[in-house]
Homo-oligomer: A and B are copies of this chain.
């Protein structure tokens, strides 16, 4: 039984390679072409999003899709304010690199997704780790991001935004919490490396990995 179950569910070498290709070549995209995302592709991305694991099967997420130019411009203005405040925290060379960084693609991207954590009835596992409700939403974003890579669609997560300001702008109920603000669209290019690495902001490091316990 166990063997036959493993046989039917085993991934071929080609399938494994495809999964790793999606995970390893996924990038944070900030330069978009204007072509809209076809509705059937978006449905597939949502299917991947909604298949994420969630603590106690709570599925504590909700999405607002933004396509209107006026809303995008308001979100962009909020980003610019937050960016000016963040810029002041860096000095010297770091500030000069910061000024050169492209940190959003809000006006170009055909679609924005505002991803919220919504209130859910008490369930398993979030007594000891209440933050796992938020983490469930993040896992859903990760699923969408991986599926988007396979579809040739770029995703950029814009974190230089005051979450409460965006939630207000979108008329969110008070118990809904903005968790992620995403730009989606066909990218102008797929960079081989993270944009921040190419820009000289920060480099990739080896994975920190310990055996049995901390040294």
Residues of A within 8 A of B (CB): 1-2, 5-6, 9-11, 14-16, 18-28, 33, 44, 46-53, 55-59, 61-68, 71, 82, 85-86, 89, 98, 101, 103, 118, 122-129, 131-132, 134-135, 138-139, 141-143, 145-147, 149-152, 157, 159-163, 169-173, 176, 179-180, 186, 188-190, 194, 196-197, 201-205, 207-214
In the complex the two chains form, what is the Cα distance from A86 to B23 in whole Å? 36
* Interface pair A19/B16, CB less than 8 Å apart: no
* Interface pair B48/A11, CB less than 8 Å apart: no
Specify which chain B residues have a CB less than 8 angstroms from the CB of A62 in the assembled complex. Answer: 208-210
Specify which chain B residues have a CB less than 8 angstroms from the CB of A10 in the assembled complex. Answer: 152
Pick 21 A–B contacts, CB within 8 A, sort by A: A2-B189, A10-B152, A11-B22, A23-B48, A23-B143, A23-B147, A24-B47, A55-B159, A57-B201, A57-B204, A58-B202, A67-B211, A125-B160, A135-B135, A135-B179, A138-B139, A139-B141, A146-B146, A170-B213, A170-B214, A171-B214
In the complex the two chains form, what is the Cα distance from A207 to B172 in whole Å? 17
Q: How far is the CB of A40 from chain B (nearest CB, A)?
A: 13
3 closest cross-chain pairs (CB), A and B: A125-B159, A142-B142, A15-B18
In the complex the two chains form, what is the Cα distance from A181 to B179 in whole Å? 22
- From the candidates B23, B63, B71, name the one contacting A207 in the complex (CB within 8 A): B63
* Interface pair B162/A82, CB less than 8 Å apart: no
* Interface pair A24/B48, CB less than 8 Å apart: yes
* Interface pair A89/B127, CB less than 8 Å apart: yes
* Interface pair B202/A122, CB less than 8 Å apart: no
